[in-house]
Structure 1
């Protein structure tokens, strides 16, 4: 029995909550388009059982015939079936339809996908530059049809990408805000959510902004919006006002998505900074723990005969490192049936008694020179920060400022003795924290060299600055 594709798609849509498992499988396997036949048959059996429990015997038989693999293959909804390997490949539009129903399974456009879209529009630009713009020319009309399809594809994918990124970003942000970081499980969940937010920010948000920025410079070709506007200019010069207007509107429609992407960037930046800070804290704790473990291994002789870690050992010079995790419970380290935690606690209690007796006799305790030098360095760093902030309180951002990094560099270099690039970074953190800060990053790499160091950065420009197209 041959059942036409509209009826097949209707059955899939009615049971879409089951068929979205196919999209989940594809996403879990990083876009692998081959689906195990057993997974598809399992989903069909679930749909049949759903109808059977409701007593719809006629509908159950209809699903069995409609969603059979052979019927989908005849209707070109399955484009390939491999019985030997037990796999099948659904038509791309069917997978896109299922993704549309389950927005949480959708993904943002990656760097490679955005580059593919830009290359297609650059190919259309090259073709329009070589062909005469004549609607009666078949070669031109073929290229125009291909260009329109590429523009529609870009608009559709950008819209889906933004919807997917918004859904995933909101979900992950809720996870971060609702987790109890005081427990190990909550801290682990929060860390995973922050890592996923950082991955979305780096892999999807920043490449999308670069794709939509007409000022971005590429090694080959021009930005996608620039390519469409150049095609519009060629149409206007060839006395095709309707085509010129169509291309201009298409370019504006694509560029309008930059506001949505930029709002996503602003909403996720706080979590990206939190993820970076948390990674640094975890690294500090891990380094301190490894130092203690190494010191324990060095002093261990299978019997632990009163051999303790020296009080001046580098591993315990900064006990404040562990101050933030007092409530966390560590898994006991089983090593030759010895409780190292109890041994360290015993050593700590004994050492405290020794220091107290030393204080009673001498009236003071000798300060560790290494720790004193570190405290002095921290004090100097705080004084330097106050000096930089005092200068910034007397500084006003120039009205014509088009590079905040360069303006701060020039101002601090002329007013701050012993100026370094670290002072510039401190000043930027202070300025960007102001409530009336209205600058955003231009996706262009610049560099400031000072002394033996150089700083690579994205220039910060006023948010109200108009974006003009670069034409050649």
Structure 2
């Protein structure tokens, strides 16, 4: 068998992704195998079934490319054990396949969030080591910097994938509940399963994610007051801020800027997770009410069953429950019970035609009120398709409106502070993350540069803190030599003021 290159093999996997989706679904749902370990026989059957409609040349190329030997030679298999007849794809291949379908993305569990928390704690501990020499040419410092960037980028990537998974699952389950059919028992069972899944996702994934992204979360205090799924001495976002502060304290401005960029992206995920929690709130409340009703029904049934069993002692008399029995107390709201016996009971007037007229009428009215589902679900281009997108567009529109009144023709020495004060006065519901979006509007009117010599400053607003290197803003109309001369004069004046 001729070996096929890794690039062509990956392209073949993407072209035949449905084959691997079938394999993943079979393992997850039929075998209950969360590790996604596949059997060789199942994979060979799917390969043969997929290659049935191909001609001989394409079939040979297809089987050579996606054969287990070729996958293993190209490093796409984590292991291949022919004695047990099992193999597993590399994790990056599984993640790539899941990325193609948001409904197949797996949500981060509380245990995985705690693993990310431990990574942040270890990164912060390494940066706090007094033996580290903060010099750019020091090998220990270079390895530590690379480790810090890798840790924050990995946390950001895992959290972004988690948000996509939560969006896909929440949208799918909410659609399943909204399209319930009152006349089919199978659909009712699916709705019940969907409600249980929504409740599980809200409790096991959405709530821990909100706690992970909470900047002001006190884990030790939250553990006593409310149930917290995180286990550690500090909140994750507080650790991220401490990691950035270590670089800020040692005047590593470039690293501070890069790490803050990752931090802002992580903090923005909190708004998306909050929107997911808000969209599921109605279903969660309904699911909890359904669970309470089911538990109450089961409790009443068990008490009635126990009372009947206690009454059955093998006697021919006195084996029926009396209407005044305490087990019937919760049903008194329906009126008094009548004890029907064989000798005294009158005939019961059952409704004609199997007694389904009233039920049929109720179902008819409800079905008429149910909105019809359109066959074509394609949304019109240009219009927002979700509340998150609408909220994001609304925020951008408010920033654009506020920036219309900004003085672009005036030079500024600290553009961050000036822009922050302008947005505080002109924009409603302003937050520090909006400052980064507003900076993009300055590029068309002037130039933003880091001041020389480098200086640092910080902004504190509504409980959030932004540390940054000072940047100046120069309008397009001002000439470059004039601006450089002004900067030189200001630098000399500053040095004279700092001199004793």
TM-score (norm 1): 0.65
- Alpha carbons of 1:213 and 1:321: their partners in 2 closer, same or farther (altered >3 Å)? farther
Cα distance, 1:322 vs. partner?
9.2
Q: Which residue of 2 aligns with 1:150?
A: 151
| Matching of residue 10 in structure 1 with residue 11 in structure 2 | yes
Comparing 85-94 with 267-276, greater Cα deviation is found at 267-276
1:141-172 Cα offsets, whole Å, 9 max, x none, are 22222222222222222122111111111211
Is the Cα–Cα contact under 8 Å of residues 213 and 237 in structure 2 kept in the other structure?
yes
Cα distance, 1:203 vs. partner?
0.8
**Mapped partners of 2:201, 2:121: distance in 1:** 27
Comparing 224-233 with 207-216, greater Cα deviation is found at 224-233
1:342-383 Cα offsets, whole Å, 9 max, x none, are xx9955995799xxxxxxxxxxxxxxxxxxxxxxxxxxxxxx
**Mapped partners of 1:262, 1:305: distance in 2:** 63
**Mapped partners of 1:263, 1:139: distance in 2:** 42
Q: Which residue of 2 aligns with 1:247?
A: 259
- Alpha carbons of 1:25 and 1:146: their partners in 2 closer, same or farther (altered >3 Å)? farther
| Matching of residue 31 in structure 1 with residue 30 in structure 2 | no
Q: What are the equivalent positions in structure 2 for 1:176-255 lying under 5 Å apart? A: 176-181=177-182, 184-218=185-219, 220-255=232-267
**Mapped partners of 1:306, 1:183: distance in 2:** 42
**Mapped partners of 1:144, 1:58: distance in 2:** 51
Give structure 1 stretches of 5+ with no counterpart: 324-343, 354-437, 439-464
Is the Cα–Cα contact under 8 Å of residues 201 and 268 in structure 1 kept in the other structure?
yes
Instruction: Classify the secondary structure of the residue corresponding to 1:99.
Output: helix
Q: Which residue of 2 aligns with 1:287?
A: 299
Is the Cα–Cα contact under 8 Å of residues 110 and 204 in structure 2 kept in the other structure?
yes
Give structure 2 stretches of 5+ with no counterpart: 221-231, 348-428, 430-460, 468-500
Instruction: Classify the secondary structure of the residue corresponding to 2:38.
Output: strand
**Mapped partners of 1:273, 1:163: distance in 2:** 23
1:228-252 Cα offsets, whole Å, 9 max, x none, are 3222222222222111111122111
| Matching of residue 265 in structure 1 with residue 294 in structure 2 | no
Cα distance, 1:301 vs. partner?
6.0
- Alpha carbons of 1:60 and 1:189: their partners in 2 closer, same or farther (altered >3 Å)? same
| Matching of residue 159 in structure 1 with residue 160 in structure 2 | yes
Is the Cα–Cα contact under 8 Å of residues 133 and 235 in structure 1 kept in the other structure?
no
Q: Which residue of 2 aligns with 1:414?
A: none
Q: Which residue of 2 aligns with 1:98?
A: 97
- Alpha carbons of 1:281 and 1:250: their partners in 2 closer, same or farther (altered >3 Å)? same
- Alpha carbons of 1:346 and 1:37: their partners in 2 closer, same or farther (altered >3 Å)? farther
| Matching of residue 43 in structure 1 with residue 42 in structure 2 | no
- Give the aligned CA root-mean-square deviation in angstroms: 3.1
Q: Which residue of 2 aligns with 1:277?
A: 289
Cα distance, 1:225 vs. partner?
2.5
Cα distance, 1:26 vs. partner?
5.2
Cα distance, 1:470 vs. partner?
13
Instruction: Classify the secondary structure of the residue corresponding to 1:317.
Output: helix
- Alpha carbons of 1:69 and 1:289: their partners in 2 closer, same or farther (altered >3 Å)? same
Cα distance, 1:218 vs. partner?
3.8
Is the Cα–Cα contact under 8 Å of residues 117 and 236 in structure 2 kept in the other structure?
yes
1:246-288 Cα offsets, whole Å, 9 max, x none, are 1122111111100001111111122222111111111222222
**Mapped partners of 1:127, 1:348: distance in 2:** 85
Q: Which residue of 1 aligns with 2:138?
A: 137
**Mapped partners of 2:316, 2:47: distance in 1:** 64
Comparing 292-301 with 80-89, greater Cα deviation is found at 292-301
Cα distance, 1:297 vs. partner?
2.9
Is the Cα–Cα contact under 8 Å of residues 38 and 86 in structure 1 kept in the other structure?
yes
Q: Which residue of 1 aligns with 2:438?
A: none
Comparing 310-319 with 290-299, greater Cα deviation is found at 290-299
TM-score (norm 2): 0.61
Cα distance, 1:11 vs. partner?
0.7
Is the Cα–Cα contact under 8 Å of residues 322 and 339 in structure 2 kept in the other structure?
no
Q: Which residue of 1 aligns with 2:171?
A: 170
- Alpha carbons of 1:255 and 1:244: their partners in 2 closer, same or farther (altered >3 Å)? same
Comparing 11-20 with 271-280, greater Cα deviation is found at 271-280
**Mapped partners of 1:94, 1:140: distance in 2:** 33
Q: Which residue of 2 aligns with 1:119?
A: 118
**Mapped partners of 1:261, 1:15: distance in 2:** 33
**Mapped partners of 1:80, 1:120: distance in 2:** 27
Counterpart of 2:309 (choices 297, 302, 305) is: 297
Is the Cα–Cα contact under 8 Å of residues 180 and 191 in structure 2 kept in the other structure?
yes
**Mapped partners of 1:294, 1:180: distance in 2:** 35
